[in-house]
Amino acid sequence: MEFIDLKAQQAHIRANIEQKIGTVLDHGRYIMGPEIAELEERLAEFVGTRHALACSSGTDALMIALMALEIGPGDAVLTTPFTFIATAEVINRLGAVPVFVDIDPLSFNISPRDLPRCLAALTRKDPKVHPLPNAAFEKSIEPKAIIAVDLFGLPAAYDEINAIAGDHRLKVIEDAAQSLGGQYKGRQAGSLADIGCTSFFPSKPLGCYGDGGMCFTDSDIYHQTMNSLREHGKASHRYDHHLIGLNGRMDTIQAAILLAKFEIFPEEIAARQQVAQTYSDLLLAEDSIQSPQIGDVSMSVWAQYSVLAENEAKRRIMLDKLDSAGIPKAVYYPKPLHLQTAFTALGYQEGDFPVSENTAKRIFSLPMHPYLSPQQQQLIVAQIT
């Protein structure tokens, strides 16, 4: 059994993938070939934004988005500590300061209730109102943006987040690395903030066979800026550059692979709903495991099916049982970002974000992909119940 079965998927589309790679080998435009624009057009239409910009990874998508918003030294960017490191890494990389806000215990996404408290604490430099990073006291840092993450494929609470951002003149970036194909109030993930960023890392809901990412926006200005940043800050004239950018392009071959995979993506999204429903049905009567609570305004794309054990010791027992049965599993994430070594300079302490810390001790993820059979799911659930 596979945690994410990319071989089963490939069996369905191998011929199409080979044909599309063959086309790239024939035309030879490995950098910015015609498949890039085609993919951008398809995905902008799917997500429902005016623009989509293919780039080299989800991390670079976030970086390019922050650069387009002109985030840099002196700026604070509010985000969740319960995410993959890339979300906060890019903030630091640009010289800005990540300011963490705890998660909601049911959605695992940034808590809109805590955001105003965090902003008030920053203004007053008062850590009694909300935990703050060291930088908030050393110099003046000004909140400029929020990066909300759609964890495990479930969009964050964007109506609340965007409203708070509007009140404080902050920009919002949607880290949709895990949520492409998910929905919030009938709108597609990736379209829910000023700029949406996704990842095509192989194991994401829509993955390529290497690294890749994409930025989505309705803003012509952001699109134009990001388009320039993606290619070293190019201006309209090839060897004149008006911005300091990066090499953030997607390979044409990866775009070709994504075009083939995108053809079956709607079916895969539907199959993911089915698989998640089967898990939830099988776990319904279990008191010892809390299955995901996604609410009724969103549709998760189920990048992960993550459950909560009652405590760390009980999780250990369940993980061991899955191991003995040869069933793959994962823990996303065992350590919240504010407790990771790379972020020690921020000066956060254990206890600052109790929901994230508690979740990190109890959460684990079961195998999840569109090709999982109900029989396999019964076998998996039987090990932990």
Ligand X SMILES: *Cc1c(COP(=O)(O)O)cnc(C)c1O
Stretch that binds ligand X, among 51-59, 131-139, 180-188, 316-324 (CB under 6 A): 51-59
Q: Which of 177, 206, 275, 299 binds ligand X (CB under 6 A)?
A: 177
- Give the per-residue contact string, 53-82, with ligand X (x = CB under 6 A; - = no): ----xxx-----------------------
State both tokens at 22.
């063959």
Q: Is 178 in the site for ligand X (CB under 6 A)?
A: yes
State both tokens at 380.
């998996």
Shorter beta-carbon distance to ligand X: residue 199 or 291 = 199
CB atoms within 10 A of CB 74: 14
Binding-site size, ligand X (CB under 6 A): 15
Shorter beta-carbon distance to ligand X: residue 149 or 330 = 149
Q: Is 206 in the site for ligand X (CB under 6 A)?
A: no
Q: Which of 49, 79, 80, 83 binds ligand X (CB under 6 A)?
A: 83
Residue 33 · residue 252 · CB < 8 Å: yes
Q: Which of 175, 194, 352, 357 binds ligand X (CB under 6 A)?
A: 175
CB atoms within 10 A of CB 117: 15
Q: How many helices (H) and strands (E) does the chain have?
A: 13, 13
Beta bridge partners of 213: 55, 199
Q: Is 199 in the site for ligand X (CB under 6 A)?
A: yes
Residue 344 · residue 331 · CB < 8 Å: no
Q: Which of residues 124-163 bind ligand X (CB under 6 A)?
A: 149
Q: Which of 211, 251, 268, 352 binds ligand X (CB under 6 A)?
A: 211
Least distance from ligand X to the Cβ atom of residue 358, Å: 20
Q: Is 304 in the site for ligand X (CB under 6 A)?
A: no
Closest CA to 355 of 2, 106, 23: 106
Q: Which residues contact 136 (CB under 8 A, 6 or more apart)?
A: 76, 97, 99, 121, 122, 125, 127
Q: Which residue shows structure tokens 């408290």? A: 117
Shorter beta-carbon distance to ligand X: residue 88 or 122 = 88
- The residue number whose beta carbon is nearest to ligand X equals 58
> Rounded to an integer, what distance in angstroms lies between the CA atom of residue 181 and that of residue 199?
12
Residues near ligand X, by CB under 6 A: 57-59, 83-84, 86-87, 149, 175, 177-178, 199, 201, 211, 213
